[in-house]
A = this chain, B = another copy of it.
Amino acid sequence: MVEDIQITSYSNEPIYIQVREQLRHLIMSGRLVHGLQLPSLRELADQLCCSLITVRRVYLDLEHEGLLTPKKGVGTFVCYEPNAEEARQRSEKMLYNAFREAAQVGRRYQFSVEEMKVILETVLADGV
């Protein structure tokens, strides 16, 4: 699982964001289950060929989101309950903001509500 994470260094996205988002996705999609121990900071840094500090930052961000929990001297563990109300709210808020921004662009360029819905359908149908 974690082995699938890779850094595509031809993106403008900072390394730590690339890794964080991939790891977040592995967790939230349930492929890394609650309680699972993640590779240590050093292991993951070696695997990704990046600095220990960069991995540390990824883990820290996900801790703050409540997705990971570290145990000193032991390791870092997945800590994600898919049904957590709080996590749900947080996600929903971010999603609303994303759509609000998109809608703002649409209005700025005078697209109609119907046109925007069609575009969303197309985009959703495209998959990634």
Residue of A71, A100, A123, A126 contacting most chain B CB atoms (<10 Å): A123
* Interface assignment of A116: CB less than 8 Å from any CB of chain B: yes
* Interface assignment of A1: CB less than 8 Å from any CB of chain B: no
What does DSSP make chain A's interface, helix, strand, loop or mixed?
A: helix
Q: Find chain B residues with CB under 8 A from A21 CB.
A: 108
The complex places the Cα of A121 from the Cα of B95 at a distance, in Å, of 13
Task: Tell me the chain A residues, 1-43 only, with Cβ under 8 Å from chain B.
Answer: 4, 8, 10-11, 14, 21-22, 24-25, 28-29
Interchain Cβ contacts under 8 Å between A and B, 17 examples: A4-B108, A25-B108, A28-B110, A64-B64, A91-B110, A92-B109, A94-B105, A94-B109, A95-B105, A95-B111, A96-B123, A98-B105, A98-B106, A99-B102, A99-B116, A103-B123, A120-B120
Residues of A that sit less than 8 Å from B by CB: 4, 8, 10-11, 14, 21-22, 24-25, 28-29, 64, 69, 71-72, 91-92, 94-96, 98-111, 113, 116-117, 119-124, 126, 128
